[in-house]
Amino acid sequence: MGCNAVRTAHNPFSEEFLNVCDSMGFLVMNEMFDEWEKVKEPATTQNGKKIRIPVDFYANIFHKWADKDLTDFVMRDRNHPSVIMWSIGNEIDQMRKPAGEIIGKRLAKIVHQLDYRPITNGVHGYGWGVWPDSAAAAVNDIYGYNYIKNDGLDKERQLHPNTKTIITEHESAQSFYPRGTYLYDDAKKAWWDKLAYEYNEAFEWVEKRDIRGESGMNAWKWVKERPHVMGMFIWTGWDYLGEVIPFGWPARSSSFAPIDLCGFPKDGYYFYQSQWTDKPMVHIFPHWNLDGMEGKKVTVYAFTNGEEVELFQDGKSLGKKTNNCQGVEYQSWDLIYKPGELKAVSYKNGKIHAQKTVRTAGEPAKIQVNCRRNSMKANAQDLIYVECTIIDKDGNEVPTADNMIEFEMLGPATIAGVGNSNNMSLESFKSNQHSAFNGKCLAIIQSTRISGDISLIVKSSGLPSTTIHFHSK
């Protein structure tokens, strides 16, 4: 995807994680607290009404342990070259009050006594606006804002013209969409809204924040246009269990990230790839299996790090569009849907730069199995991730397939988990079978302490089985 920095949210990560960041060259905003003395009150529903219930986490022991824990945290991590700044809190509303400023000064003093790197604090910019002069100047070396808008960044610059600023958190490109989900027809929109609990019209709520609204793509534009803003972290890099906004039951995982729960990229992943990488690429969406949309208008989008993109429908050019280097860099075409083929060709310096083809897939015919390696350490800890994709007879991915996939393990290994990234699925992660979601499923293989040959048989009713081989030593 091309990212070069990680914010650890919102507590200390393992030393092993920082070792990986050191070796790979990632920059780390190393964060300690999600609460100070005041507990947070996440939203939930009770008898159909939205309420907030205090959840007691670190706040109960903050007064006793905060100074020692922060000291140990900085002492443990300060020799990691990947750490470029310290964060002493996330969305701490006490920072708006005199008592919070006192706490912030105390924590900042501890960090500055132990290390020279700057301090920041992720402040929620939605309702809080910009920092008051006193708290900002007294506590933070770098002003950090969560979900601040472009006008907020400009106001902050007017108030504090010599400050250093970072967007410590913002929604990602096309946040809230599960992978491969495109809500074109009314039935799917109604299904989406039925699952909403915090917002009356979930689909409308998401539409306002997607590619056509106030999304992570616009936020990246704001960063590029303002030299004093050093960068932006997105919420979040990877989907996770819990925090299922804007859904209700049976949703059990978030859909905020450009990478889904199983590690499969969503469309938003390719937006960041187009902004943060130089290797030629172009990506188009949606997929072209839009049953029920025949004869209706569909908008097709493209991301590229080239200069121009040309879209072809069934071999006919629909015209070239130019990347706007000063704005949100995507292209779109309105066309009438019919099964067939879409092809995007990007150009740079007048020459073909990258190509991407999407075809209407036929019926499921085979399970395509991929993994990055085929050897394991016999230490009972090593893992191999096996990606299963449903394809048609011509090798095209079937983007709507939901076949039940079974896994049979032979040899000294176990199935550690299975999944498909469907945030509405209640299927067990600890099983030898799992349905595909929008064409994909994942199995995680774990070694034992015994060396030997391993085979994983992948099968689904009506499809030929596929076998993949490993070795443990």
- Residues labelled catalytic: 91, 169
Helix H, strand E, coil C: the string for 338-358 is: CCCEEEEEEEECCEEEEEEEE
The closest alpha carbon to 137, from 160, 153, 118, belongs to 160
Contact present, 70 and 98 (Cβ < 8 Å): no
CA-to-CA distance for 331 and 321, rounded, in angstroms?
A: 6
Give how far the C-alpha of residue 388 lies from the chain's centroid of Cα atoms, to the nearest Å: 21
The CA dihedral of 322, 1, 216, 300, to the nearest 10 degrees, is 50
CA-to-CA distance for 418 and 319, rounded, in angstroms?
A: 43
Q: Is residue 386 helix, strand or coil?
A: strand
CA-to-CA distance for 250 and 448, rounded, in angstroms?
A: 34
β-strand partners of 376: 472
Cis omega before residue 10 (within 30°)?
yes
Which strands form 165-171's sheet, in the order they lie side by side?
5-7, 27-31, 83-90, 119-124, 143-146, 165-171, 229-235
Long-range pairs of 49-58 with CB within 8 A, sequence gap ≥ 24? 50/197, 50/198, 58/33, 58/34
Q: How many CB atoms lie within 10 A of CB 401?
A: 24
User: For residue 83, what is the enclosing H or E element?
Assistant: strand 83-90
**Length of the chain, please?**
473
271's tokens: 């937006």
The closest alpha carbon to 442, from 452, 454, 433, belongs to 433
